[in-house]
Amino acid sequence: MNKKYKLAIVAAVIVFTIITCINPVYPEEQYLQHIGTALLVLLMLFDIRKNILGKVSFIGLALFTALHIIGARYIYSYVPYDEFAQRLCGVSINELLGTTRNHYDRFVHFSFGLLMMPMFSQVAEKKMKCTKGIAIVVAWMLIQTGSMIYELFEWLLTIVMSPEAADNYNGQQGDMWDAQKDMALALLGSSVTATLMLITKKQQKP
C-alpha cells in the first residue's frame, strides 16, 4: 500500500479523534481511553516508516482504531448505537438482542479479533519468517494472548483505581463474567477471519 495513502488514513484518524474530543461527555475517562488511541496511531506511524503492512492489514488497523475512538468518546458503556439505529432504521438493536445492556464494548472486542488478524498474520509472515498457514495460526494465538493481557490490565485497574472509575473505564456494567465474554468474542472474531484467510489461501494454490 502506498505510503501516501497510509499517511492520509492516519491524518483522517487524528482529525476524527480531535472532533470526538470536542465538548467531551466524560472528559477524564475519555482522555484515559485515548492512551490506547495514541498507541494505535503510533503503530500506524511506525508502519508508514517501515511499510510492512499491506492494504487489508493497514485498513483493518485503522478501522479498529476508529471503533475505539468512538468507544472512548462515550467510555464504551454509553455509546448511543441503539438510539442511532432507531433514528436511522426505526429498529432497536437491544430489543432484537433481548437486552438492556450496552454491547458496544462486546462489538469492539469481536472487532479486535476480526480486524487485527491480517496485521498479526502479515507481521508473523514477514518478521518471524513463517509460512502463510503457520502465520495465520500464530496470528490467531497472538489475538487470544493480546485479549487476555488486556483483560489482566483491566483487572489491575480495579485494584489501583476507585471502584466507580474502574467500572467506567472497564465497561463491565455489573457483569461478573465480562472478561471471559470479551475474550470469547475476540476468539470468535479472529476465528472468522482466520477461516476466511485459510479458505483464500487454499483457493490461491495452483
Beta strands in 99-204 (DSSP E): none
Question: What is the spatial distance between Cα 1 and Cα 136, in angstroms, rounded to a whole number?
Answer: 20
Torsion 50-61-149-75 (CA) sign = positive
Percentage of residues of the chain with pLDDT beyond 70: 90
> Whole-prediction pTM value?
0.89
Helix axes 178-204, 104-127, angle to 10 degrees: 40
Q: Is the pLDDT of residue 46 over 80?
A: yes
Grid coordinates in use for 163? Answer: 471502584
CA 137 to mean position of chain CA atoms: 19
Question: What is the spatial distance between Cα 68 and Cα 106, in angstroms, rounded to a whole number?
Answer: 12
pLDDT band for 25, please (50, 70, 90 cuts). confident
- Per-residue pLDDT, 160: 72
Closest by CA position to 102, among listed 82, 123, 131: 82
pLDDT band for 115, please (50, 70, 90 cuts). very high
Beta strands in the chain (DSSP E): none
Which residue would you say has higher pLDDT here, 75 or 138?
Answer: 138
Q: Is the pLDDT of residue 170 over 60?
A: no
Mean pLDDT of the chain: 89
- Per-residue pLDDT, 31: 87
Asked whether the beta carbons of 24 and 73 are under 8 A apart, the reply is yes
* pLDDT one-digit tens code per residue, 82-108: 999 999 998 899 898 888 889 999 999
DSSP-assigned letter for residue 114: H
* pLDDT one-digit tens code per residue, 119-168: 999 999 998 888 999 999 999 999 999 999 988 888 787 777 666 666 65
Q: Which residue has the cell 490461491?
A: 204
Which residue would you say has higher pLDDT here, 61 or 163?
Answer: 61
For the chain, give the longest Cα–Cα distance: 59
Q: Which residue has the cell 466507580?
A: 164
- Per-residue pLDDT, 77: 87
Q: Is the pLDDT of residue 172 over 80?
A: no
DSSP-assigned letter for residue 26: S
* pLDDT one-digit tens code per residue, 181-202: 999 999 999 999 999 999 887 6
Grid coordinates in use for 112? Answer: 479486535
Q: Is the pLDDT of residue 203 over 90?
A: no
